[in-house]
Amino acid sequence: MSQPKRPRGGREANEAGAFWEYRLARLRFMQGFFVRRSIDVWPDGLQGSNLAELDVLSTGFDARLRRRTEVIEAKSGAGAKEVDRVMWLRGMATYAGVDEATFAKLHVDSRVRPVARRARVNVLDEAAVSAAEKAAGIDLEDWVGYADPQLGEAVVKAARSHLTSSVPLRRAGKFLFGTFWLSDEFTRIKQLRTLAELLNRHESEVEPAALVLACSEVVTLTALSTLEVTNWRGQYDPDEFRTFATGQFASGLGQPEGLRRVLAQVDAMTHDFVEALHEEYTATGAARINRRIPQLQHELLRVPEWAEAFMDLSTRMQERANLAMHILRALDLRAAERLGSKRDTKKIARAWIGQDQQVADAASLVERFCLSVWGLPARGLEPARK
């Protein structure tokens, strides 16, 4: 008589759940999408613990550079309350602003499927995933990029933890693997620029693997955000787009901290202007002094010096719109290799065979922009030293 299966628990259950997440991430990555795991949803101000965790985020661009993102909630255990998770997922998808929500569980109760359809949640079980893996030509040992559990658990997990708790980087991990995904593209570009500056300033204080992870993420997420900004080009003529985009990058109003800085600048400018005017008046005794009144919009809302270079990058990415997903995945594979991955990437690189040089050149273009224009430390795009 066979013994009943012992329910998984503790470490065994966690490992099974993580493996299922990696498997789903691998599937989407091999299907042509840009993928990230374990994205934290933080409260405003990043205070306290995270509100929730998104198991898998899968992002794709069409030929017009319109982005669509899918959030996948992965469950492997038999004890999961499936209807509860479907409803939670529908709400979280709305909160995160993603386009599609997918509930993935090894075995899904048939009663859950009509509920999921009504809630507009896709459903994946192990049979569906296995069929999709077969259709994509994925073998058991085809682990690549960040969808590789060996790299993820041994290197990336520790590097992310270091970044999340890093004081000099102002919680860079919480941004790269959290708040980045809930911000608009123009805000993200400015935040990535700030992070590149911080990495340059504090590179000696960051562990080698964490520095490589952070710098590689800055590059890849810059490429992703640039593609999103470039999508706006279709809604404007070239001159209008330049005015619109550079205006979005202008410094000044924004977060409360930025508002306080602007108000302090206004106060200082007003004080200096009045004092200078008073000195001129008392010195000349003139009844009226011809003096230009400062225009705060022009004095305070300055376009950053890197905006012109970014517009050039956007133009070049638009010329390569058909290669968008190949560029993002190639950057991911480069990052994994720097972090120590030895996996064979030939199978996934077949997707851009015949366009290899174009993809490599575009990926290098984004790297050079981050290095030369934003000052990202070059050491962060070299193999991690132990």
Question: Would you call 255 exposed, middle or buried from its count of C-beta atoms within 10 A (0-12, 13-18, 19+)?
Answer: exposed
pLDDT at 304 over 50: yes
pLDDT at 303 over 80: no
Check residue 125 and give its pLDDT. Answer: 95
* Structure-token pair, residue 328: 């993002």
Token code pair at residue 304: 């950053």
pLDDT at 13: 54
- In residues, how long is the chain? 386
Please give the single-letter amino acid code of residue 341: S
pTM: 0.83
Beta strands in the chain (DSSP E): 34-41, 52-61, 67-75, 100-105, 122-124
pLDDT band at 154 (very low <50, low <70, confident <90, very high): very high
What average pLDDT is seen over the chain? 87
Q: Stretch 41-52: mean pLDDT, rounded?
A: 80
Region 225-244: mean pLDDT is 87
* pLDDT of the residue at 256: 46
Pairwise CA distance, residues 334 & 78, whole Å: 37
Mean per-residue pLDDT, 62-71: 92
Three-state SS string across 7-70, please? Answer: CCCHHHHHHHHHHHHHHHHHHHHHCCCEEEEEEEECCHHHCCCCCEEEEEEEEEECCCCCEEEE
